[in-house]
Chain A
Amino acid sequence: MKQRGRALNSHLRNSFWYGGKSMRSHFWNRSAALLAVVAMAACGGGGGSSEGAADDAGEAAPAAAAVDPSTVGTISGMANFGGMVPTMEAIDMSAEADCAAGYGADGPMAQNVLVSNGGLANVFVYLSEGVSGAPAASGAAELDQVNCRYTPHVLGVQSGQDIEISNSDNLLHNINATPTENRGFNISQPRAGITSTQRFQVAEVMVPVRCDVHGWMQAYIGVVDHPYFAVTGADGSYSIANVPAGDYTMTAWHEEFGTMTASVTVTAGGTAMASFDYSGEMMGADVPMGDALVLEHGTNRIRVERTQ
C-alpha cells in the first residue's frame, strides 16, 4: 500500500496522535485502508475436480491377522452426492512455489468437498455399534505430505496402530495433531525423507492434523477400536472386508456434512450394502470432532459417548 507523504505538517489532522477521543474508533485514514484491502474472494471454477485427491478406490482397513473366511462378510457402498456441488476455494500457495508448481492451471483447490460423478470422497465410514472384540491392528497406516497437502486428506486408523508420517516435500512441515481424547503430537519435518511414527491409544473420531507453516494444510485421522472402517475414494465408493457376520450400526463422518448412520447386517460370505446420501444444502452441519468411542466389553456394543 502507498504511504502518505512524510512532510512534517501533513499529518496534523486525522493522524494517530491528534484524534482526541475519536482516536479509538478511527484515527487513521479509512480510505487508505480500503484501498489496501486484498481481494479475498475465492476463485470460482474447479468445483468437483479431484486432482491429487484420494485414492481411486476406497482403501480397506488392514485385514485382521487370523480370519475364518466362513464367518465373515463384506460391507460396501457409496457416499452419493446430489445437487449443486459447493465451490471450493483456491489455496494461495504462492509462498511455496515448489508446492504450487505441482498443480495444474487452476492451481491448488481446497479439499473440503470433493465430488466426482455423483460420488463424495473423503467420507470416513466405520462400524460404530455392534462390534464385539476386534483383532489387533496389523501393519502401519501412512500419511504423506505431497506438494504442501496431506495424502490422504482423511485417514482411518485403529487405536494403537502405527501411523507413519512422511514428507515428500523438500521443505519444512510440522505435523500438529490436536486430539482431545488422546495425547497429541507436534513434530517438525524440515526436509523430504523424514518419517515419524505415531500412535493414538484410544478411539476418537476425528483427530484434526494441521501444519502451522502452511495454514491451508489440514487432515483428519479417524481412530477406532477395530479394523472395520474405510474412507471413500475419489468415486465415493468404499468397501470393508472380513467383517464378522452380525448386525451393526455404521457411521459416516464428513468434515463439512457431519455424521449420519445406517444399519447394516453382514452375513457370512455375503456383501452388505450401506450407502449415504449427501447434498450441498448440508454444508455447515454440526461436525463432531474428538468424540470418544468407548468399547463396552461384554455387552457386544460400542457406544458413542462424549466423555468431556
Chain B
Amino acid sequence: MRAPRGTGIVLLVLFAGTPSALAGQEDAAAAGKVVYDRWCAECHGETGQGDGSAAASMLPRPRDFTQALYQIRTTGSGQLPTDADIRFAIENGLPGTTMPGWPNLTDGEIDDLIVYLKSFSRFFGQGPAPEPLDFGSDPGGGPAAVEAGAAAYLTMLCEECHGLSGRGDGTSAPTLEDWRGLPIRAADLTEAWVLNGGSSVEDMHTRMLTGLDGTPMPSAIDAMNSGVVSPDEVWQLAHYLASLGPREMPPLRDVIRVGRAEGGLPADGGEEAWAGVEAFYFPLSGQVVQLPRNFAPAVDGLWVQGLHDGNDIALRVQWNDPSNSPDPNWDEWQNKITTALDLDGAEPIALDSVGAPTSRPPDAVLLQFPFEPPEGTDRPYFLMGDAREPVYLWTWDSETGVGAGRGRGLDSVEPLAEDPVAGEATWEEGRWTLYLRRSIEIESDGLDFAEGTPTPIAFQAWDGSSAEVGKRSSVSTWYYILLEPPASSTVVVTPLLAMLLTGAFGLVLVRRAQDRRRDG
C-alpha cells in the first residue's frame, strides 16, 4: 500500500529545510527524473514546459509544469494542487486528452515523480502546503435534486459556454482560449467519460468549486458564498450534470442490429419512432496511419440506429459537434486551430486581407461497406479501401448533403452515378442527426443487406470548423451491421461470431476506450 510511503513524503515536506530532509528530497527528485525522462518528457518536454517533441500536434497541449497551473485540483482557484491531486492525474490520466493513466508506475515511482514535477516550478515550496477546499456533503440525488440542479445550471449561466443541452455549444464556445491563447473546447457535459477530472457527482462538484486553472472554467465559489446558489444547489447541479448522459463510455458492441419496423420506416431523423430503437455507440479516433495525421480529432464518437421494412434500410447517425460548419462564428476558432496545431504537412487554410479564412470546410461523415459480400474475415482496407478492393461509401457533408461513392483510398473517391442513397441531416444544439436510406438490395451493385448476413461497416467524421479536411479525420475500425430477420426464421450468424471476426484494430480501440473509461 502507499500509505507509509505517502506519510514519508508528508514528513519530508514538513521538515524541508533541514539538511537530511533536503537530501531526501534530492534523492526523490533524482529518482523522479529517471521516471519522467522515460515516460513523460516526450510530451511534457525535458524542462517541463509542455513542449516535448510530440506536443505541437496535441490540443490541449501537455501541461507546462513550470507554471504550476493544474486543472484537476481539490484546492481553490489559482492555488497549487495537493500531492494527492497530482497523483490522481498520473494514476487516472486526463480523459478526453492525450494524457493516459500510468498503471505501470509503482506508488513509489509516482511519489518520486511528484517531487520531480514540483521541482520544475518555483511556486512549490513557497508558503504552506496547499489545503483542499471544504466541499461539504452531498445532500443526495434523485429526480427532485436533478430538477433543482437544472435550475441552478441556468442560474449560474453555465449555458454561456456549455450550451443549453450541455454539449459545449454555448455562445462563447467559439472564442474560448486556454492560458497560452490556444483554442479550448467547452466541455461536452453529455459525454462525461471524456471529462478530464472524472465523471462522478463528486468530481463534477469539485471541478465547479475549484475551477480548472489555465482554462476559461472559473470557480463558482464566490457565487455560492454570495448566495446566488446554495451549497446544496451546487451539489444538485452536480447531480444534474451527471444525469446528462452516461458516466462511462457506452459498452462497445460490434454488431448494429437493425430491427424490422412494424409501422413502416421513419421518413426522417426526427421521428418519434427512433426513440424506441436501440442505439449503438462507436468511438472514433484520429486518423494517424497516413500523412497528414490527426492527433487532435474533433469528433470522438457516434451513435447509430437502424430499421428496415424488408425493402429499405434506414439508419440514424448522431454525433456531437458544437459547430454547425460552415459557420463564420467559428472563423476565429478555425484560424487558431490552423495556427496552433502542427498539421503534419496538411496545407493550412489561408486567410484573406481582413483575417477571415478563405475557406470554411463543411462537417462531414461517411459510412463505408465492402462492395462485394466479404469472404470469411477478409475486408477492404479500413481507410476507405484501396485500388484492389474498393469500398462503397455513403457520404454526407453539411454543404452538399447525402451522396454515394466508390473509395479506393483516403484521397481517391469517385461518385456513383446511380445515387442509391438518400437522406438529410439536421443540426440542433451541438448535435447532428443524419438520416440515411437505401434499398436493402440493388441489382446493379454488390452491397446487399440480405437478411441474416452481417455486413461490415466503418465510419469516418470531420469537423469543418476545426479545419478537418481530407485525411485529417476521425476514423473507426470495421464493425458489422445485421438486419434482423422476421421473428420466425433463425439468425444465421450470431453476434458472438461476428465479434470474433473483428480485427486487431478493433481491439486497439477497445483498449483505448477502456483506458479512457478509467477515471473517477
Contact = CB atoms under 8 A, between A and B. Distances in A.
A294 interface: no
A70 interface: no
A6 interface: yes
Contact of B356 (A37, A171, A189): A37
B400 interface: yes
A84 interface: no
Interface string B191-226: 000000000000000000001010111111111001
A306 interface: no
A185 B216 CA distance: 10
Contact of A191 (B228, B358, B405): B228
B400 A212 contact: no
Contacts of A39: 354
Interface string B145-170: 00000000001110011000000000
B415 A178 contact: no
Contacts of A212: 161, 172, 175-177, 216, 218
Interface centre among A175, A183, A194 (most CB of B within 10 A): A183
A3 B399 contact: yes
Contacts of B357: 33
Interface in B466-483: 469-471
Contacts of A107: none
Contact of B216 (A30, A176, A195): A176
Given A21-B411, A28-B362, A193-B226, A38 B177 contact: no
Nearest to A307: B122
Contact of B326 (A20, A33, A174, A180): A33
Contacts of A23: 411, 469-470
B347 interface: yes
Contacts, number: 178
Chain B interface size band reads: 35 or more
Contacts of A184: 69, 77-78, 179, 213
B400 A15 contact: yes
A18 B216 contact: no
Interface centre among A11, A12, A188, A213 (most CB of B within 10 A): A188
Interface string B294-319: 00000000000000000000000000
A91 B364 CA distance: 34
B514 interface: no
A1 B401 contact: no
A8 B362 contact: no
A300 interface: no
Contacts of A41: 354
Contact of B352 (A21, A37, A190, A195): A37
B123 interface: yes
A186 interface: yes
B67 interface: yes
Nearest to B226: A194
Nearest to B400: A11
Interface centre among A17, A25, A172, A187 (most CB of B within 10 A): A17
Interface residues of A, number: 60
Contacts of A1: 326, 328
Interface in B386-429: 393, 395, 397, 399-403, 405, 411-415, 419, 422, 424
Nearest to B212: A186
Nearest to A182: B78
A6 B401 contact: yes
Helix, strand, loop or mixed for chain B's interface? loop
A187 B78 CA distance: 10
Contacts of A176: 216, 218
A95 B171 contact: yes
B347 A25 contact: yes
Contact of A186 (B122, B171, B172, B217): B217
A36 B328 contact: yes
Given A1-B328, A15-B400, A16-B397, A188 B218 contact: yes
A34 interface: yes
Given A183-B78, A186-B217, A194 B355 contact: no
A127 B232 CA distance: 48
Given A38-B328, A212-B161, A174 B218 contact: yes
Nearest to B176: A212
Given A191-B228, A193-B226, A38 B347 contact: no
Helix, strand, loop or mixed for chain A's interface? loop
Interface centre among A8, A15, A16 (most CB of B within 10 A): A16
A216 to B, nearest CB: 10
Nearest to B421: A8
B362 A38 contact: no
A11 B399 contact: yes
Nearest to A20: B411
Nearest to B179: A178
Given A188-B223, A189-B223, A194-B228, A213 B161 contact: yes
Given A6-B400, A33-B326, A186-B78, A308 B66 contact: yes
B360 interface: yes
Contact of A187 (B77, B175, B399, B400): B77
A116 to B, nearest CB: 30
B361 interface: yes
B405 to A, nearest CB: 6
A10 interface: yes
A28 B157 contact: no
A71 to B, nearest CB: 34
Contact of B226 (A21, A36, A195, A308): A195
Given A27-B361, A172-B160, A213 B172 contact: yes
A6 B423 CA distance: 10
A15 B78 CA distance: 48
A299 interface: no
A16 B398 CA distance: 9
B161 A188 contact: no
A185 B78 contact: yes
A297 interface: no
B80 interface: yes
A12 B418 CA distance: 12
B57 interface: no
B359 interface: yes
Nearest to B329: A38
A183 B412 CA distance: 52
A284 interface: no
Contacts of B356: 37-38, 40
A10 B403 CA distance: 10
A8 B402 contact: yes
Q: Shortest 3 CB-CB distances between A and B: which pairs?
A: A11-B400, A212-B216, A172-B157
8 contacts: A8-B401, A17-B397, A17-B413, A27-B469, A37-B356, A95-B171, A212-B172, A212-B177
Given A16-B399, A18-B413, A174-B218, 9 more contacts: A16-B364, A16-B462, A17-B403, A29-B399, A34-B352, A183-B80, A190-B223, A191-B155, A212-B175
